[in-house]
Structure 1
Amino acid sequence: MGVLDGKVVLVTGGAGGIGKECALLAAREGAKVVVNDLGGSVGGGDAGDAGPAEATAQEIRAAGGEAVSNSDSVASMDGVKRMIEQAKDTFGGLHAVVNPAGILRDKMFHKMDDADWDAVIEVHLRGAYNVTRASIELFRNQEEGSYVHFTSTSGLIGNIGQANYAAAKLGVMGLSRIVAMEGAAKNVRSNIIAPFAWTRMIATIPVKDEASAQRVERMQRAMRADQVAQLAVALAGPGAKAVSGQIFAVRGNEVVLFNQPRPVKSLARMEGWTPQTLLDHCLPAMTPNFTDLGASAGVFPYEPI
């Protein structure tokens, strides 16, 4: 018995990295899997290749599971609709979407061009919208469905050179939250995971100094895609029916629950504020509660567990 017995799961980005590990594990846990992957490069922008998604599907079938492949782009609503129809036509339905598909176009913001911004937003944020919008009515009508979207500490905390990626990933956070709120009465759940794992996408991040080289080495050694897949598959299944609207991270063998934006301090002035009184009183009083500009390495400075 597996946690996904009898369920049909769509996994995007399923040809490699976290997506592939999610697809393989979902199948081992009893799911029938639609393995989607455009088969393109990490930076996107190429025509793609149907072979990588089919290779994962073949691996699942060789192990005794059930899987089909799909090479449409999550950035295309028509393509996503074909994924949903393929799941229904092949396996009779759809119960969960695991959506780690993504690209990177890293560049300092003052050097970023429109194409780099648009490409990342299209795949990550528009892609998350597409796979959710194309399946949400099915999930609501059958009163069962789970979304496992992927965010990033680049958005939750920050990382230099990834303004496009951070903006998209925080957008995914907002989308997941509202889908969870609106879906609660219909047993439609949505959660997000910020993964720490060595994948070909992470391998594109430039190593510019000894500190970043050591960080990359730690990621390669102790933070693997298969560890992230464990939580993604758990959240996709009915055993997590009480879990929705949450933000998790997986870092090696550690699962982290993130807080969500809430007020931390408030000051009132009965006669109202002026720019000068704000500068003299309000902002200095709030300064001890400001969030610093440190990147995720400062929030997670310890070795992976």
Structure 2
Amino acid sequence: MSIRYDDQVAIVTGAGGGLGRSHALALAARGAKVLVNDLGGDVHGSGASSSAAQAVVKEIIDAGGEAIANGANVCDEAQVAAMVKQAMDTWGRVDILINNAGVLRDKTFVKMEAEDFNFVLQVHVMGAVNCTKAVWEIMREQNYGRIVMTTSSSGLYGNFGQSNYGAAKMALVGFMNTLCLEGAKYNIRINSLAPFGATRMTDGLLPEEIFNISTPEAVTAGLLTLCDKDSPNRLILCAGAGGYSKTVIYETEGIYLKPEDQTPENVRASFGELSDPADQQEYIQGGQQGAKYVGKAAKALGLKL
């Protein structure tokens, strides 16, 4: 089975370099028409230039593909709307959105200013929200859409000095989880990619040997599985240096305490039992947790619901 994107239109944000560039080139090589978005700022979000996006477009066109450049700031709703309109005016549809644009402002929490926290949230979270909102109705009407959020191990597991980045990246998983429910009947599938790659965002942080094997192309191989017509839905795929894995959030079966036993001391004493992974489950919507709790209570109290 060959994964192709012929006659499909993809928007890739933050595609002027690194992972975004790799994603855009690979999508185009497999038949997609690509809008290459990049504000052209530095890794901290300062400055702007259209040259990076235009250079990627040239690479795609020189290789025989179709692409256009766009310099929209993903934090600006009006600019994002104009970006999507550019894609629609040029090609008449949008099939794929890769929410890849991002910035870093790393500091320990004690040294971090509120502005640094808010700015990272704005770019990663609201940037993804703005872009997704702008294509959502288009995808609903055409009964097809594939969206990929870019999460991170920093959000899934934590990383020293990245409280802002980690919070933003985990928020995107929550965003994905709800959109999967709302988009299902319209054939809109949403997945998340947790990449590990050598880009300007990791420049100077990795030893040369690790840098050389942690290519953006290795991550893109995973990305391409998340946005084709046969893609999964609600998957968190981790990719880097040729390694690929899946992150799953499980909930243990847990315990029930009778009303007279519902004290913090008894909850603490039960940590071992309630942590038992034997019957843990992966839930696909929040109501499943509540149903489990109510079911346990009803059984213990002899209630018929």
Quote the residue 1:28 is aligned against. 29
Post-superposition Cα deviations, 1:197-217, rounded to whole Å, max 9, x if no partner, equal 010012265xxxxxxxxx544
Q: Looking at both structures, which has the greater relative contact order when contacts are Cα pairs under 8 Å and sequence separation is at least 6?
A: 1
Structure-to-structure mapping, 1:63-212, within 5 angstroms: 63-203=63-203, 205=205
Q: CA deviation at 1:56?
A: 0.5
Aligned pair in 2 of structure 1 residues 184, 148: CA closer, same or farther (>3 Å)? Answer: same
SS, match of residue 134 in structure 1? helix
Quote the residue 1:277 is aligned against. 266
Q: Is the 8 A contact 1:100 1:149 kept in 2?
A: yes
> Which whole-Å CA distance do the structure 2 matches of 1:197 and 1:257 have between them?
17
> Which whole-Å CA distance do the structure 2 matches of 1:136 and 1:175 have between them?
13
Aligned pair in 2 of structure 1 residues 26, 284: CA closer, same or farther (>3 Å)? Answer: closer
Q: Is the 8 A contact 1:106 1:162 kept in 2?
A: yes
With structure 2 as the length reference, what TM-score do the two structures score?
0.85
Post-superposition Cα deviations, 1:38-93, rounded to whole Å, max 9, x if no partner, equal 000000033x0011101100111111111100011111111111111010111121
1:56 maps to a residue whose letter is: V
Aligned pair in 2 of structure 1 residues 34, 273: CA closer, same or farther (>3 Å)? Answer: same
> Which whole-Å CA distance do the structure 1 matches of 2:63 and 2:217 have between them?
17
> Which whole-Å CA distance do the structure 2 matches of 1:263 and 1:167 have between them?
21
Post-superposition Cα deviations, 1:114-170, rounded to whole Å, max 9, x if no partner, equal 111011001100011111111111101100010011000001111111010010001
> Which whole-Å CA distance do the structure 1 matches of 2:29 and 2:3 have between them?
7
Aligned pair in 2 of structure 1 residues 218, 185: CA closer, same or farther (>3 Å)? Answer: farther
**Which of 224, 228, 243 is the matching residue for 2:219?**
228
Structure-to-structure mapping, 1:251-290, within 5 angstroms: 251-260=240-249, 262-270=250-258, 271-279=260-268, 281-283=269-271, 285=273
With structure 1 as the length reference, what TM-score do the two structures score?
0.85
Aligned pair in 2 of structure 1 residues 184, 112: CA closer, same or farther (>3 Å)? Answer: same
Q: CA deviation at 1:237?
A: 1.7
Mark the structure with the bigger radius of gyration: 2
SS, match of residue 158 in structure 1? coil
> Which whole-Å CA distance do the structure 1 matches of 2:21 and 2:43 have between them?
15
1:51 aligns with 2:42: no
Structure 2 residues not aligned, in runs of 5+: 278-305
Q: Is the 8 A contact 1:2 1:28 kept in 2?
A: no
1:23 maps to a residue whose letter is: A
Structure 1 residues not aligned, in runs of 5+: 206-214, 290-305
Q: Is the 8 A contact 2:254 2:275 kept in 1?
A: no
SS, match of residue 10 in structure 2? strand
Aligned pair in 2 of structure 1 residues 264, 63: CA closer, same or farther (>3 Å)? Answer: same
> Which whole-Å CA distance do the structure 2 matches of 1:275 and 1:99 have between them?
42
> Which whole-Å CA distance do the structure 2 matches of 1:40 and 1:122 have between them?
15
Aligned pair in 2 of structure 1 residues 284, 121: CA closer, same or farther (>3 Å)? Answer: same
SS, match of residue 212 in structure 2? helix
Q: CA deviation at 1:276?
A: 3.2
Q: CA deviation at 1:11?
A: 0.6
Q: Is the 8 A contact 1:177 1:246 kept in 2?
A: no
Paired residues in the alignment total 275
Q: CA deviation at 1:285?
A: 4.7
Q: CA deviation at 1:272?
A: 2.7
SS, match of residue 173 in structure 1? helix
Q: Percent identity?
A: 36
Q: Is the 8 A contact 2:252 2:275 kept in 1?
A: no
Aligned pair in 2 of structure 1 residues 263, 287: CA closer, same or farther (>3 Å)? Answer: closer
> Which whole-Å CA distance do the structure 1 matches of 2:34 and 2:55 have between them?
13
Q: CA deviation at 1:231?
A: 2.2
SS, match of residue 170 in structure 2? helix
Let me know the Cα RMSD of the aligned residues. 1.8
> Which whole-Å CA distance do the structure 2 matches of 1:73 and 1:197 have between them?
24
